Amino acid sequence: MASRVSLKVKGKSSKGSKEEEKSTAQLVKEWTTWAAKKAKVITHYGFIPLVIIIGMNSDPKPHLSQLLSPV
């Protein structure tokens, strides 16, 4: 008894693509939501290293220990 494998793509309908029915406003909304999520992650993980890099390149040239100390 050989089993028969059925290849089905999830989320796709055989009648037509839903992508064609999306309005421009919906696509813009999805894109801005995606971009805002990515910007939030980049800001979250990149802010402290950016401050350290800017501090290291400042005029008095502090050591890393001086930059990270709270005093």
pLDDT at 67: 76
**How far is the C-alpha of 71 from the C-alpha of 68, rounded, in Å?**
9
pLDDT at 44: 92
The residue behind tokens 């100390």 is: 69
Low-confidence ranges of the chain (pLDDT < 70): 1-20
pLDDT at 40: 96
pLDDT at 2: 61
pLDDT at 63: 84
pTM of the full structure: 0.48
**How far is the C-alpha of 5 from the C-alpha of 71, rounded, in Å?**
67
